[in-house]
Structure 1
């Protein structure tokens, strides 16, 4: 496992009460970061993750609640983090809902929710984190995309998710270009099927889904001090998956 030195760094992982977000938060804590565990509605799970993060890394961990699709809520939760842990050095944009239906069956509210939780949230949290990163001339933004987003994969099912994640990858490249003189990197990790998925396809690459370690390896690589020239990149964690049909 990669081991970047994140002592003295503050990390925020959105949607980190459970699942992949929790794995991200714990991986960062194990490497010395103070961690802000964010949740929207899973309060008990968030506090359990924060306690595990303290035990895993020995640093501090706080729990913050908020709706990352709304500017005022984002500003409030960053204010809490800054008061408790200091400026955010590592931002992991993990939040993002699905709509596993044919696009014609998706209601307006579902459509908006998927676009906002995936793309708008990434924009809002990145915008709020940048001033502090620029001031200290160091920062890592890691966004979560989706496997084969670079290939333009789309499907009539879950279409707003694909559209939003494609936007996330474009935003990542734009952010990398806009911060190239600031000591900040912006990259993406894009898994295919991860171990916590509800359903697994029959033909998974390498005979298994990605486990959390597979994905956190990419996160830790981007957070390393020696990765400071790597920005605007996307690592697909898909086991070599070549989509033929969706």
Structure 2
């Protein structure tokens, strides 16, 4: 008890009042926190900066999600780095060996291709191999066009392999067909090594500032000049129509 003059003052009542006010303040804060939650997720003002960055807001995130994609820069297929039109035709261990040998080759592309064309002229006399280089050029252009984002890697590899199958790869079967097995095996191995080397040389020669679209246009032109055309996909309806009826 305090005394103010002759009047006693009860301090217990004042303490109770202060405690009551403090309790109300805590309760109000709790209610505000609960009110800001929806199914356990605390909501933030869309324009409020996040604590992590201090800059990015929900409005910024929404704007970036809803924004139109930037198509000014071509999207490059990551698999284009591994394009090899000889894959599935030449065993991988052979290709690795040919690639290693090609890195140490000192021939320029013209001399290298002339060497192989001379071999075909004497060892594959039953064919006219004048499109040997055209096939290499075509496959290399598809390869580089994909590396610059003009088409998916699997298409570039398929079209490139078709161009080579109609030319360089296809000529292989005509090399000294009547030679002994051992002799022909060695000739084919030499031809494959030269052809793989020539492909890499042609591709390196074509590497330039040309755009992917320009390279693709050139590739499609030489592809057509070889008498090739992409196969049109058959729809499920067409497949059902073409299936013979059961008797």
TM-score (norm 2): 0.22
Higher strand share: 1
TM-score (norm 1): 0.22
More helix by share: 2
